[in-house]
Amino acid sequence: MKKIVKKLKTIKWQIKSEVAKYRYGNPASKLKIVGVTGTNGKTTTATLLYRTAIALGHKAGFIGTTNIMSNEKELKMDLRTSTTPDKMALTKIFAEMVKDNCEYVFMEVSSHALDQKRVAGINFVGGIFTNLTQDHLDYHKSMENYFLTKKKFFQMLPASAFALSNADEEHGLMMTEGIKAKKYFYGFDSPETRFRGNSPKPGFGERGLDFEATILNLDFNGLELLFNMEHVKSNLLGKFNAYNLLAVWSACKLLGFDIHEVAKILENIEPPTGRFQHFVSDSGVMGIVDYAHSPDSLEKVLKTINEIKEKNAKVICVFGCGGDRDPLKRRIMGKIGATLSDIPIFTSDNPRNEDPEKIIAEMKTDLSMAEVAKIKSIANRREAIQEAVKLAGKGDIILLAGKGHEDYQEIKGVKNHFDDMEELKKALC
């Protein structure tokens, strides 16, 4: 029965696709579209590509989790249903971008969109793979299914397109096996990030990468990097952002952009809303808001903070797990938060139709008695943030993880206004 329902849905999406093409004249064919897929880093990578193209003087569009942009105009078209809109909505967006004379479009491509064929028929000029870690298993049921769904994106790329993949990622080489598009790999030169036992391809450097990087410096002032031996600086923080920047730089090179101008732009480029946004209060407490809502993203953000914080600074992490979503990651995220924070505060994310206390209890499943003892459980997110501020002293760091750019909290089917950055500044300043 499930297979029949899925087949009917596929037919419905195909019909909508053809109707949209007929109505708007297949506007996607008039644009150079680059898709970014992976578990984490999609929004940052696609946003930075869009902002770089605009800064270079190109007319460009962006489609992603945070917003939809056509040139420097935000499209408010009531089209936001998910990271990647449905086929009819996408076609309407592309039509608007063509009307605005856009040449390039940089868009996030989600696994749901691939499974539901929302991007079928789009002639991408390039695709970028960031990483693959546990997420959305409530939908895909297994990591193998999740991987195979992501791989569909690279299988649909034409021979004229480029496929740019993260060689340091476990699935980086497999993602591009058997595809028509020309393959390119990016990665860092550290010994622990080799091709995971695979033979390197001929190319740049000892590892055979097309785009290889070295981190020269990483602290709260930003990043200093070498990309193919070219010097690049950035105000962005953390090794995960070094990967995002390398993917952006590599894609810009493949698109034929002036790479020296790209390096200048990346030096002062700002991250998307809710992606490791940070500020320091008058009392000397650093506040960070990040969208980290998967085990891998939470671990990366906390490791970044621990790598660059002052020796005696406390890390206070306020986070929860979403209701009605992948329950398997709750215990994993709970363990990560308890292990990598000095003061972990378990709270609500978007509880939706679940009891927040039940979600918090599941987050504690794999914790030792010592870890449970150091945790504070405060289901009300506003009160949890206020408690974090009370506990923070000069030099300490408060991380609010999970909601990032979202300006609401969904409880029992109702979206109530709630903005982590707004709440943190109100409590700190």
- Per-residue pLDDT of 308-335, as tens digits, reads 999 999 999 999 999 999 899 999 999 9
pLDDT at 307 over 80: yes
Query: Residue 304 in 3-state DSSP?
Result: helix
In this prediction, residue 20 carries a pLDDT of 60
> How confident is the model at residue 140, as a pLDDT?
47
Task: Determine what percent of the chain is predicted with pLDDT higher than 70.
Answer: 87
Would you say residue 79 has pLDDT above 60? no
- C-alpha–C-alpha distance, residues 141 and 149, integer Å: 12
Instruction: Give the Cα separation of 47 and 41 in Å (integer).
Output: 10
* Structure confidence by residue, pLDDT tens digits, 4-62: 655 666 566 566 656 665 566 789 999 999 999 998 999 999 999 999 999 999 999 99
Q: Using the predicted structure, report yes or no on whether residue 89 has a pLDDT greater than 70.
A: yes
pLDDT of residue 191: 44
* pLDDT band at 149; cut points 50, 70, 90: confident
Distance CA 145, CA 127 (A): 20
Instruction: Examine the pLDDT at 199 and tell me if it is beyond 70.
Output: no
Whole-structure pTM value: 0.86
For residue 76, what pLDDT is reported?
A: 80
The more confidently predicted of residues 20 and 83 is 83
Check pLDDT > 90 for residue 156. Answer: yes
Sorted by sequence, the CB contacts under 8 Å of residue 127 that are 6+ apart come out as 34, 35, 36, 37, 109, 153, 154, 157, 161, 162, 163, 164, 181
| Residue 196 pLDDT greater than 50, yes or no | no
pLDDT at 306 over 90: yes
Give the whole-angstrom CA distance, residue 127 versus residue 125: 7
Q: Which pLDDT belongs to residue 197? A: 38
Q: Where are the alpha helices (DSSP H) in 255-327?
A: 259-268, 295-308
Integer Cα distance of 238 and 386 in angstroms: 26
Higher pLDDT, 138 or 248: 248
Architecture of domain 277-428: Alpha-Beta Complex (3.90)
Q: Which CATH number fits domain 9-268: 3.40.1190.10, 3.60.40.10, 2.60.120.10, 3.40.50.150?
A: 3.40.1190.10
How far is CA 165 from each of CA 39, 182, 183, 247, rounded to the nearest angstrom? Answer: 13, 11, 8, 8
Q: Which pLDDT value is given to residue 141?
A: 57
Provide the CB-side half-sphere exposure for 23 (13 A, CA). 16
Q: Three-class SS string for 343-366?
A: EEEECCCCCECCCHHHHHHHHCCC
Number of residues written out for the chain: 429
pLDDT at 237: 92
Q: Tell me the per-residue pLDDT of 203-236, one tens digit each, with 9 for 90 and over.
A: 445 567 999 999 999 998 999 999 999 999 999 9
The domain ranges of the chain are 9-268, 277-428
User: What does the pLDDT average to over 340-347?
Assistant: 98
